[in-house]
């Protein structure tokens, strides 16, 4: 701005060179120097106006006489300065007074405008805050209304969801657990981390809703909020960051709620909520998640126990399925547990009756390739709700199906036999015929122990061969 003011004064001084007989336009009715100072003070304020006045005075007194003398040597610079000194007092007084008055008016209006603008700015910010608060309260009220109106339905749904968590498949159990959590908490991104005590780290076991690409799958126990929850067996909520400096050092922005998952009396892992709607973030949701984790603890214990059993199981070389001995061990355990819980459990035995003919005509490689296709078909029909095993003979398979009663086992066998009949079985390019019989049994009044279930299923299997 100061450069502009100097240029303004320099331009007026250059124009003044065209009128050397009136230096400083002191004899003019309207002095351009004074008018310029008035305009600057009215536009910029008092202080810029006085600066402009000083620039104009400097050019008029110091530069202008020398410039006129350089253009016309007959006019002396000292005479011009004497003329300016004689005639310049009145214009200088007028300039000072005018600059002060115009500048004072401008500054007073400017300050009033600034105060008014600040008041509007404060009012707008307050209005925005009130609107945001009102919107948040509306969302919270809507959430409370939904919670009250659908409380009975939510409890019924929660019970059904928890019952579906009982599975031998740990991956499926965890996936349904996160699905249940998302349904009741509104979370858009959640994950389950499991404690690896030997490596002293947390491993990602299941995740829904977030971007898996670029996401860390291992976290240190000592350098993460997930590890802090495991070490202290304490739930974490983002509101704790305002109270504990050590948690702020661990926070990376991915934890809204992190809750411990208990199996037995030990912390097995954590449930982490990464994203959720603002109106769902409250103590009620936190207590609800803790209740869900308590309800699913038996299902997780069952699934992890089965996973650990399979980890040491002897697998069949041809099909990759656990052997009969592990089937019998697991069946004994589950039959006892199902009897105590008065639940349902089914056993299905499948036998390929023309296996010898298939092996003789197509060799072991062709026969076991066909058997593996049958295993895939069984897995597809069971939808990961059941576990497959090799049975006693190389042409026999067994299925352990939790939460399935006798009628359900019968329907499953019918679906399987229908799929066998409708499938185009081939070994290589040659079509082959596959003859299959099934036997099944379920926990009921007559069969409660593992051996009783096996005997009942085998009797039905033998009846199918007749």
pLDDT tens column, 3-28: 777 776 767 777 766 666 666 666 66
Q: What is the mean pLDDT of residues 235-253?
A: 89
304 alpha carbon, distance to own chain's centre: 27
Where do you find CATH 3.30.450.40 in the chain? 164-295
Give pLDDT, residue 153.
47
Class of domain 164-295: alpha beta
Q: What is the mean pLDDT of residues 180-186?
A: 84
Long-range CB contacts (< 8 A, 24+ apart) of 112-121?
none
What does pLDDT average to over the chain? Answer: 80
Q: What is the mean pLDDT of residues 124-143?
A: 77
Q: Dump pLDDT digits (tens) for 77-113.
A: 566 666 666 666 667 777 777 777 877 788 788 888 8
Q: Which CATH superfamily is domain 313-465 in?
A: Reverse transcriptase/Diguanylate cyclase domain (3.30.70.270)
* Least confident among 102-116, 145-159, 309-323, 394-408: 145-159
Give pLDDT, residue 157.
64
Where do you find CATH 3.30.70.270 in the chain? 313-465
For 203, list phi and psi in degrees, rounded to 5: -115, 135
């Amino acid at each position: 701005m100061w450069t502009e003011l100097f240029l303004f004064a320099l331009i007026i001084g250059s124009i003044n060179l065209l009128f050397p007989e009136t230096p400083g336009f002191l004899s003019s009715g309207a002095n351009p120097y004074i008018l310029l100072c008035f305009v600057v003070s009215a536009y910029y304020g008092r202080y810029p106006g006085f600066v402009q006045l000083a620039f104009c005075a400097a050019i008029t007194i110091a530069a202008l006489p020398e410039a006129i003398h350089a253009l016309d040597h007959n006019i002396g610079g000292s005479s011009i300065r004497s003329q300016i000194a004689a005639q310049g007092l009145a214009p200088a007084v007028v300039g000072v007074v005018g600059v002060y008055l115009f500048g004072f008016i401008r500054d007073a209006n400017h300050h009033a405008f600034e105060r008014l603008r600040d008041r509007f700015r404060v009012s707008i910010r307050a209005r925005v805050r009130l609107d945001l608060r009102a919107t948040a309260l509306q969302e919270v009220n809507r959430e409370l209304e939904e919670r009250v109106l659908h409380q009975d339905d939510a409890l019924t749904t929660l019970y059904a969801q928890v019952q579906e968590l009982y599975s031998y498949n740990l991956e499926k159990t965890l996936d349904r657990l996160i699905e249940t959590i998302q349904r009741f908490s509104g979370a858009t991104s959640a994950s389950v981390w499991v404690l690896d005590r030997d490596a002293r780290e947390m491993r990602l076991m299941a995740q829904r809703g977030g971007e898996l690409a670029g996401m860390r799958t291992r976290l240190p126990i000592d350098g993460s909020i997930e590890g802090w929850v495991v070490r202290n067996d304490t739930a974490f909520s983002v509101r704790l960051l305002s109270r504990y400096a050590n948690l702020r050092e661990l926070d990376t922005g991915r934890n809204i709620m992190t809750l411990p998952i208990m199996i037995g009396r030990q912390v097995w892992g954590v449930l982490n909520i990464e994203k959720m709607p603002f109106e769902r973030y409250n103590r009620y949701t936190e207590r609800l998640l803790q209740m869900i984790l308590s309800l699913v603890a038996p299902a997780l214990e069952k699934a992890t126990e089965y996973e650990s059993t399979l980890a040491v199981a002897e697998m069949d070389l041809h099909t990759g399925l656990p052997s009969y001995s592990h089937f019998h061990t697991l069946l004994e355990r589950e039959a006892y547990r199902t009897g105590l819980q008065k639940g349902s459990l089914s056993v299905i035995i499948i036998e390929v009756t023309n296996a010898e003919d298939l092996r003789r005509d197509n060799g072991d490689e062709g026969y076991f390739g066909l058997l593996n296709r049958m295993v895939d078909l069984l897995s597809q029909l069971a939808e990961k709700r059941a576990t497959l095993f090799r049975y006693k003979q190389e042409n026999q398979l067994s299925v352990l199906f939790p939460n399935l009663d006798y009628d359900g086992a019968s329907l499953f066998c019918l679906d399987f036999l229908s799929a066998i009949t409708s499938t185009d079985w081939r070994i290589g390019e040659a079509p082959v015929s596959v003859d299959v019989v099934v036997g099944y049994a379920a926990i009921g009044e007559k069969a409660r122990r593992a051996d009783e279930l096996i005997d009942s299923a085998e009797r039905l299997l033998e009846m199918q061969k007749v």
